[in-house]
Amino acid sequence: MMFIKRITAMVLSIFFMLFISACSPYMDINENEENHEPNEQEATDSPEKTPNSGNNSQPEITAPETELQKKDQSEEVEMLQHAFHQIGYDITINGIYDELTTWAVTDFQLQHEDLMAIGIYDEETKAVLEQYIEDNEMVEPGLGLPFTEETVSTNSGADILANPYDQLALINKEYALPDNYEPEDLVIPNVQFPFTDELPKKQMREVAAIALEEMFQAADEAGLELYAQSGYRSFDRQEAIFAANVSANGEEEANKFSARPGESEHQSGLSMDITSPEVRFKLVVEFGETDEGQWILENAADYGFIIRYPEGKEDITKYQYEPWHLRYVGEKAAKEITENDITLEEYLLYE
C-alpha cells in the first residue's frame, strides 16, 4: 500500500513540473521567436509591394506638377520619366527631357483627342497621365507616333524629323518635315488679315493660334495695327513657291530667302508672317522699324513667339533678316531665346 502511494506521489510530482514548464512565459517567447521569425526562403517568397502601396523604401509614382519641356533637367523630369515608364514606355530615366522623352509625351498626346500633340508636358497631359496611374492602365507605345531610330534624309541632304509635332522642332536647311506631314489641329486665329479670302495660309496650329490672338489683342490695346499675312503652307504649296523663286532668281539666291519644300517652318503650322498698314501690308525689312515692328521685338516673347530670323544671325539661320517672320515656341523658350539674343538653333543645339 505504501509502495502504491509513493508511486502515485512521484507521478503527480512529475505531472506538476511538466504543467509548470508548459505555462512558463519564457517558453512562449522562445516558441514565438522560433515560429514567427521568417527564414531566408520566406523572405524571398514574400510579395513585393508596388510603388503605390505605401512602401516607404520606394518612391511613389506620381505625375509632376510643373510644366516641362525639351532641354529641362530636374527631379520633376525624372518623376515624369518614372510615370511614363509605369504606364508602358521603355524610356531612359535620367532626369533630362530629351528626344526620347519628347517622343513619349507626343505619342501619349496623339493617342488622346482632347490633348494637343506638342511634346510639352502641360496641365492637360498631367490630368490624363494621373488617371492612367490611378487606374493602373497601360499604353501601347508608338500607336500615336511610331518610334524610329533610323534617320532618313531628303534629296538635298536634310534629316527628316521623326517628330514633326514637337512644338520645339528645329526646321531649317538641315532638318526637314516629312513630305506627308499635315497638322491635324489647324485653325484660323481670330485676328486681322489684309485679305478676306478663306485661304489655307490663314491657318495655324491651335496652340499657336491662341497665343497669336492674345498678342494681337495686346497690340490693339497699345494702339497698334498688326495684321497676319501668311501662316500654314502645305508641302505642295511650298514646293511651288520655291520653284517660282528659283526660276526668277536662281537656286543659290532663292535659297537665301525661300525654303525648299519640307524645310519651311510654315509647314509646321507654328509660324505666321505679320505686317502693318505702314508698310502697305508687305513683308519687308522696313517693318522692323515701324512702331508695330518695335513692339513685336520687345513683347513677342511674352506670348511665346520669337523673331525666327533675327538681324546679325544670318550665318546661323542661313536666312536673311526677316522681322516679320514669327515662330511659336512657347513662353519659356521664347523668353530664354530673346533675353540671351540667340536663335532657335543655338537654343536647341548648343549649351
Whole-Å CA distances, 284 to 3, 223, 274, 324: 132, 22, 10, 7
Say how far apart CA 203 and CA 205 lie, in whole Å. 7
The grid cell for 239 is 514646293
Q: Which amino acid appears at position 81 of this protein?
A: Q
Specify whether the CB–CB gap between 139 and 130 falls below 8 A: no
The grid cell for 274 is 505679320
Q: Which burial class, exposed, middle or buried, applies to 57 when counting CB atoms under 10 A from its CB (0-12, 13-18, 19+)?
A: exposed
The grid cell for 235 is 508641302
Say how far apart CA 60 and CA 306 lie, in whole Å. 39
Provide the greatest CA pair distance for the chain.
140
Sheet containing 227-230, strands listed edge to edge, beginning at the edge strand earlier in sequence: 227-230, 271-275, 322-328, 305-309
The grid cell for 226 is 498688326
* Residue 33 is a catalytic residue: no
User: 160 forms bridges with which residues in the sheet?
Assistant: 176
Q: Which of 99, 206, 322, 339 is catalytic?
A: 322
Specify whether the CB–CB gap between 129 and 89 falls below 8 A: no
Specify whether the CB–CB gap between 215 and 274 falls below 8 A: no
Sequence-ordered list of residues with C-beta below 8 angstroms from that of 12, at least 6 positions apart, any chain: none
Sequence-ordered list of residues with C-beta below 8 angstroms from that of 273, at least 6 positions apart, any chain: 228, 229, 230, 231, 283, 324, 325, 326
Residues acting as catalytic residues: 322
